[in-house]
């Protein structure tokens, strides 16, 4: 009897653990978001500061795209408000990386404060803000979601990946704040909508 009880308890604990581990994974969004393939006319211009919101390595992909498009841009993953002088466009690559923030010796709160400071400065200087989210897959990082909400509400253009765990958030932001949204099928497809923002 005792052994049976113990076994039931162990199985219950295992079940709870599996659910807990599984929680960050989200299912594919059923909502169909209507998105533009790109902007019909440019909304932003150089010089551009490309910065990271969360210190993930995705920022380097946007830098590479920017370089390929020969856009005059400054790559500053940890850009501060004081570094935005004479800048017309601020591009946020949203993606939280715990390792990335540790590498830069900053924590989540500090990163959030930095982002908010940049957004305030961008608003004060009438800069164009573009938010890019490259993360796809099913693992939902809450901190990335929070950054996205903060940045997205103050953005002029949103670019993301279709079928990602942030698609729903992007779609809601685009709808609520009336922000143009482009969802692409794969990482390489970001180049076109990104270019459309400038040309």
Partner 1 sequence: MITSEVKATEIKYPKIFVTVGLMLISLGFLFPLFSQLVWFNIIVKIREAINAGDSGHLILASAIINFLYAIQSTILFMGTMLVISNSELKHRLKRFDIFLISLISIIFLHWTNSLVFELPWEPVSTVLALLISLFLFEKLYGETNSFIQVFIVSIQVFFAFHWLNIMPIFSAYRFGQSDVTYSVKTAGLYLHAAMVLNFSGFAFFMPFIISAFITATLFISYSRNIHMMRENYEKENEIRSMRAKALEDRVYQEVKSLVHDLKTPLVTIRGLNSLIVTANGQNKLEEYSDRIENSVIRMSEMISSFLYENSRQKLKANELISYIRAQLPLEDERIRFEITIEDMLPDIYINKIRVARAVINILENAIIVPCKHPSKLISFAVRNAANGMSITIQDNGIGIKESDIERIWEVGYSTNNTSGLGLPFARRIIEDNEGTIELASNTDQGTTVTIFLPAADAASDQTSNLQRGD
* Footprint on this chain of partner 1 (rule: CB under 8 A): 3, 6-7, 10-11, 13-14, 17, 20-22, 25, 56-58, 60-61, 63-64, 96-100, 102-103, 134-139, 141, 186-188
Q: How far is CA 196 from CA 43, 131, 156, 187, 190, in A?
A: 8, 14, 13, 16, 10
Closer Cβ to partner 1, 94 or 179, answer by number: 94
Closer Cβ to partner 1, 86 or 186, answer by number: 186
Closer Cβ to partner 1, 17 or 124, answer by number: 17
Q: What's the closest the beta carbon of residue 86 comes to partner 1, in angstroms?
A: 26
Closer Cβ to partner 1, 56 or 154, answer by number: 56
Alpha-carbon torsion (136, 142, 147, 150), positive or negative: positive
CA atoms lying within 13 Å on the CB side of residue 121: 19
Strand-pair partners of 55 = 96
Q: What's the closest the beta carbon of residue 97 comes to partner 1, in angstroms?
A: 5
Burial grade of 143 (CB within 10 A; 0-12, 13-18, 19 or more): middle
How far is the C-alpha of 97 from the C-alpha of 18, rounded, in Å? Answer: 23
CA nearest to 157, candidates 69, 44, 72, 46: 44
Question: Could you tell me the end-to-end alpha-carbon distance of the chain, in angstroms, rounded to an integer?
Answer: 74
Q: What's the closest the beta carbon of residue 78 comes to partner 1, in angstroms?
A: 14
Closer Cβ to partner 1, 94 or 122, answer by number: 94
Q: What's the closest the beta carbon of residue 137 comes to partner 1, in angstroms?
A: 5
Q: Provide the b/e sequence for 27-62 (b: ≥16 CB within 10 Å).
A: eebeeebebeebbeeeebeeebbbbbbbbbebbebb
Closer Cβ to partner 1, 68 or 153, answer by number: 68
Q: What's the closest the beta carbon of residue 61 comes to partner 1, in angstroms?
A: 5
Q: What's the closest the beta carbon of residue 92 comes to partner 1, in angstroms?
A: 17
């Amino acid at each position: 009897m005792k052994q049976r009880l113990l076994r039931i308890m162990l199985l219950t604990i295992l079940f709870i653990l599996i659910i807990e581990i599984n929680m960050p994974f989200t299912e594919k969004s059923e909502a169909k978001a209507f998105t533009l393939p790109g902007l019909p006319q440019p909304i932003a211009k150089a010089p551009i500061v490309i910065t990271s919101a969360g210190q993930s390595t995705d920022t380097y992909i946007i830098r590479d795209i920017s370089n390929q498009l020969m856009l005059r841009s400054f790559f500053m993953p940890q850009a501060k408000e004081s570094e935005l002088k004479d800048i017309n466009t601020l591009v946020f690559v949203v993606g939280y990386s715990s390792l990335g923030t540790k590498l830069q010796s900053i924590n989540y709160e500090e990163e959030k404060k930095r982002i908010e400071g940049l957004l305030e400065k961008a608003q004060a200087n009438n800069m164009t803000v573009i938010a890019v989210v490259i993360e796809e897959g099913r693992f939902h990082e809450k901190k990335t979601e929070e950054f996205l909400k903060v940045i997205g509400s103050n953005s002029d253009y949103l670019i993301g990946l279709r079928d990602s765990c942030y698609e729903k958030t992007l779609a809601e932001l685009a709808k609520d704040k009336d922000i143009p949204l482009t969802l692409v099928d794969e990482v390489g497809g970001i180049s076109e909508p990104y270019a459309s923002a400038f040309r």
